Amino acid sequence: MGADTAGKQELAPELIAAATLVVDDAEQAITIGECQHAYRLGLITRDRLGLTLGAVVSGAFARASAEEITVFDGTGVALQDLAVAELAYRRARERGLGVDCDMR
């Protein structure tokens, strides 16, 4: 999910530039998100950030191939974070993955 504060960075700007980019909020992606460094270096432009998580979830977007690099720059739209976490949890439970623990 990457950076969530100005200056933070987890991925190389060149990787961001080479990837298909999916964002939760385009303006946040270029100011505090993982895309900020590639944007600042001129490796990507604002128009590369039109693909949203909603397009992926609704099926409006499909990857071109299994080799395509896709990066989701989730900068912290809380409702989307919760939806992604719930889906990951549900899929892990369906597959018998993970460990139950008492959080008390």
**In the chain, where the domains are located:** 13-94
- Answer yes or no: are the C-beta atoms of 61 and 35 closer than 8 Å: no
For residue range 46-102, what is the model confidence (pLDDT) as tens digits? 999 989 878 888 888 888 888 999 998 988 777 777 887 898 899 999 999 988 888
Q: Specify the pLDDT at position 13.
A: 97
Mapping DSSP to helix (H, G, I), strand (E, B) and coil, where does residue 77 land? coil
13-94 CATH pick, 3.40.50.720, 3.40.50.1000, 3.30.450.20, 3.50.50.60:
3.40.50.720
Instruction: Say if residue 1's pLDDT is above 70.
Output: no
CA–CA dist 73, 13 (Å, integer): 12
* Distant-in-sequence contacts of 57-63, Cβ < 8 A, 24+ apart: 61/22, 63/20
